[in-house]
Amino acid sequence: MSPGNLLLIYAALSILALVVLIARYRLNPFISLTLVSLGLALLAGMPAPEIVAAYEHGVGRTLGHIALIVALGTMLGKMLAESGGAERIARTLIARFGTRHVHWAMMLIAFCIGLPIFFEVGFVLLIPIVLNVARRTGVPLLLVGLPMVAGLSVVHGLVPPHPAAMLAVHEYGADVGRTVFFALLVGLPTAALAGPIYARWVTPRISLPAHNPMEAALLNQGQTRLPDDQLPGFGITLATLLLPVGLMLLGGWANVLAEPGSTLNHALHFLGNSVVALLLAVLLSFVTLGLMRGFTREQILKFSQECLAPTAAITLLVGAGGGLNGILVKTGVAQEITRVSHELQLSPLLMAWSVAALLRIATGSATVAMSTAAGIVAPVALAQHYPHPELLVLATGAGALILSHVNDGGFWLVKEYFNMSVAQTFKTWTVLETIISLTALLLVSGLAALL
């Protein structure tokens, strides 16, 4: 057996061992991820002095972004909850869509809010609303939450101006307008199937614990039900929530709105950074949802501190997933996946999906999978004069969403905030992501046959 194939087997066994350690033997997930990462590196023959450094690099690279996002997003969510802002949005959604259709409302809201921002940012912005809607309506949490993550995930992989999709647009030389048009044709029915429709089927089959630590941290469960006139206005609440979305959208279009290299261009990029945008939104929430609601500075300080404690476990898990990601890349698993995909000699459309899917499974990052796969497939598609580069963008994005598992930070975010076991997260989130990937591939293939 070739060293490359042996390496792929080691990687597959490592993932299997990780699932068994967590699900069967109930070993702490952070410890399990660390042990498996180090074990895989030893099996793959990495020099011992380099192993821990590679793991730490993967952890640091992931946490350098995610830890700040989780902390700031949790603070914003706490202000939404304590001020009654999440309650205001929940009541408005329920009034407009009705309790029976609120899961469709969450999918559409996530689809719109997720356009310019990464999945993790949209998740921490919307999770307080999901928790509040579920509590107020009595609708099961998964029936409200899974459509939300489906909407965010679809736009993360398929729809410009999302950063990952824009990378692929550039690599393939696709037209942005046509890509957006095809992405909406594919994305909306895909999100509907993976979100509200699948959630309706799977929710009765998943039993969650009665107590959710993240709900207790984010929502003020002791507050009485306030009358409408004592809640913040829907407009100011929504404006506070959407401020980071608007800033990130400006940052994404900075090169169109201002000459590259100019002071204005630099300012837009700075304001559009996800950390800066969320920081400004948190500061705004201290005023609009804090001081203007009659809270004192001491109360606001207490809110912003007490909500962080439950995020420690999530942050460690996401970081450990990044460490495993770093080991998988350092050992050469990604290179072996690329080699296998070339040997299969697929059409550009299937090759784009396959390479992105394999890289997603190996590295856990949809953005890395999408950008890397586009760079690999673009020269092949150009050499074959493939006529629909926009569809290549969508096929690559579809592949980059498949089979999220334990090396993906999103897996642990969904698990912890929805208070699920690892097995339940596989049955819900992992299956949902795979439905998105396969449905989008089928619809893109259908479009390719028609054009």
Q: pLDDT at position 161, please?
A: 60
Residue 422 in contact with residue 415, Cβ under 8 Å?
yes
Instruction: State both tokens at 374.
Output: 């586009």
Element (H, E) at 59: helix 48-83
Phi and psi angles of residue 210, each rounded to the nearest 5 degrees, phi first: -65, -35
Q: Tell the burial category of 1 from Cβ atoms under 10 Å away from its Cβ (0-12, 13-18, 19+).
A: exposed
CA distances (Å), origin 325, targets 51, 185, 239, 333, 441: 13, 33, 36, 10, 25
Chain position carrying tokens 């950390």: 275
Q: What is the C-alpha to C-alpha distance for residues 144 and 199, in angstroms, rounded to an integer? A: 8
Q: pLDDT at position 166, please?
A: 67
What single letter denotes the amino acid at residue 339? R
Q: Tell the burial category of 306 from Cβ atoms under 10 Å away from its Cβ (0-12, 13-18, 19+).
A: exposed
Q: CB 310: neighbour CB atoms within 10 A?
A: 18
Residue 235 in contact with residue 289, Cβ under 8 Å?
no
Residue 7 in contact with residue 332, Cβ under 8 Å?
yes
Residue 324 in contact with residue 364, Cβ under 8 Å?
yes
Residue 358 in contact with residue 341, Cβ under 8 Å?
yes
Q: CB 284: neighbour CB atoms within 10 A?
A: 19
The pTM score is: 0.69
Mean pLDDT in order along the chain per 10 residues (451 residues): 78 77 73 86 87 86 72 80 76 81 87 70 80 84 93 86 68 78 90 94 89 71 60 85 79 81 88 84 91 89 79 70 76 69 73 84 74 72 80 92 84 88 91 95 92 79
Q: pLDDT at position 438, please?
A: 96
Could you give the maximum distance between any two Cα atoms of the chain, in Å? 71
Q: Supply the mean pLDDT for the chain.
A: 81
Say how many CA atoms lie within 13 Å of 272 toward its Cβ: 21
Q: pLDDT at position 222, please?
A: 46
Cis omega (within 30 of 0) for bond into 3: no
Instruction: State both tokens at 165.
Output: 């999709």
